[in-house]
Homo-oligomer: A and B are copies of this chain.
Amino acid sequence: MQLNANDYPDIDLTPSGADKRPHVVIVGAGFGGLACARAMGGHAVRVTIVDRHNYHLFVPLLYQVATAALSPADIAEPIRKILRRHENIDVVMGEVGGVDVARRRVLIQEAGYVPYDRLVLATGSKYDYFGNEHWAKYAPGLKTVADARQIRASVLLGFERAEMCRDRDRQKALMTSVIVGGGPTGVEMAGAIAELARWSLRRDFRNIDPRSARIILVEAGPRILAPFPEELARYAHASLERMGVEILTDQAVRDIGPEGALIGDEFVRASTMVWGAGVKASPAAQWLGIEADRQGRIPVGKDLAVEGTEDIYSIGDTALTLDDRGEPLPGLAQVATQQGAHLGKSLVAQLERGAAPAAFRFRNRGNTAIVGRNAAIFDFGKRRLKGRFAWMLWALVHVYLLVGFEQRMLVSLQWLWRWITYQSGARLIAYDPSERGRGSQGSEPPG
């Protein structure tokens, strides 16, 4: 690993001093990292959690920020606040640039290093453009607050500009959204944009009818929601079409530019494009100098330790873990959370009592996707749910899973209110397009 010493000053960022407890360092405060830290709270280990942001983001609800239903602060909670009551847990806000495996140090850009006895890599995943990284500028994925703000601004600005536009073709383009990828994120985005146009903005304009907005969901495979049973996917397909979403299956997006997307042989002019077609792991494998799988994931053993190492672990979207049938576990919040909690407990047992590492076993809590108002699907393996009851269950589960109590209360009140009034909560145009695409992946300006 080539690193410039000037970028990583020789400064220990943790209070060294008298603390002789073994030191576990977690990189990433997503679902996995946070669950891992919490499981070690109050035990005889020292824990430092490093993240580039000062907040944990509840990514499953990010599509609601992107579609102007919630504010970023509704689904983000300061990491320090979440972990405050555990005196043995430190938080470091910084951008990790690499790992010095030989000296057991995590290197923080422009700040220094954090020494570790055990390292947990929980850095998540990002969208994969399969070699067309220049598409990201026009069709952001949905992983960060900046992504969500960019999408929200582009949808709302599209309507604002269409209202003033006298050119019919351009007006149509300004009211067109293309969503690439028919997975849960694509379905959620398509449904939410359709509801925004059909309900929330319905009476806001004089020259255009937002209900005539065109929303196109493009899926390269034969059907949407591939990980779900066909019955549920069919229901979601029909629900989306009823909401006015055009679904194109077996269609590849061949190019994306500032004016729109080339879908198959047809160029569709669009002002909003969203990418949800594939993910790859963050560059943690490169930090270790080890070989990752095709999606950039780090192979780990049953105990979640990185193969070939003794003191490094990986969980969540960063890790390649296989189930009993040898299939990779999916990149879901519940997988990351269960792995984090398991690893935290296992590390405490090892470091406090010298226990042997315990094997991780995933327990499927059910898989869900939301299509729109009153329409969601649940797959519990044997049992399946769809429709209004599934939607209520979806809302309950997501409110419950939100980290902070205050957030839960506010989000549930906003949902209730919006559900009664058909309104949207956070309709600020809040993004300056020129701020994108500068600097590294860490440059997004959230909040």
Contact = CB atoms under 8 A, between A and B. Distances in A.
Interface of A: 11, 13, 15, 53-55, 71-74, 76, 78, 80-81, 84, 87, 90, 92-94, 111-112, 145, 149, 152-153, 156, 160, 163-164, 166, 201, 203-207, 406, 409-410, 413-414, 417, 421, 423, 425-432, 434-435, 438-439, 443-447
10 contacts: A11-B166, A53-B428, A54-B160, A71-B71, A81-B427, A87-B206, A145-B430, A430-B447, A434-B435, A434-B439
Contacts of A80: 201, 204-205
A431 B406 contact: no
Contacts of A409: 413, 417
B54 A206 contact: no
Oligomeric state, in copies: 2
A73 B445 contact: no
B429 A53 contact: yes
A84 B201 CA distance: 10
Contacts of A166: 11
Given A80-B204, A160-B54, A164-B92, A445 B427 contact: no
Contacts of A71: 71-74, 426
B15 A429 contact: no
Contacts of A153: 447
Contacts of A423: 81, 406
A73 B406 contact: no
A84 B90 CA distance: 49
Given A71-B72, A427-B54, A94 B164 contact: yes
Contacts of A443: 432, 434
A160 B93 contact: yes
B406 A425 contact: yes
Contact of A428 (B54, B164, B203, B434): B54
Contact of A73 (B11, B13, B425, B444): B425
Given A112-B164, A206-B90, A445 B428 contact: no
Contacts of A111: 164
A423 B434 CA distance: 34
A356 B151 CA distance: 49
B435 A432 contact: yes
A145 B153 CA distance: 15
Contact of A446 (B93, B430, B444): B430
A55 B427 contact: yes
A389 B446 CA distance: 37
A409 B72 CA distance: 18
B429 A447 contact: yes
Contacts of A156: 54
Contacts of A53: 428-429
A18 to B, nearest CB: 14
Nearest to A92: B164
A76 B428 contact: yes
B446 A428 contact: yes
Which 4 pairs across A and B sit closest by C-beta, in order of nearness?
Answer: A430-B447, A432-B445, A428-B447, A73-B426
Contacts of A444: 432
Contacts of A73: 71, 425-428
Contacts of A421: 406
Contact of A445 (B94, B204, B406, B435): B435
A164 B11 CA distance: 9
Contacts of A206: 15, 87, 90
Nearest to A446: B430
A69 B425 CA distance: 18
A421 B84 CA distance: 14
B406 A410 contact: no
A430 B445 contact: yes
Nearest to A114: B164
A119 B72 CA distance: 37
A423 B405 CA distance: 12
A429 B80 CA distance: 13
A254 B434 CA distance: 34
A432 B146 CA distance: 11
A153 B439 CA distance: 19
Contacts of A81: 204, 423, 427
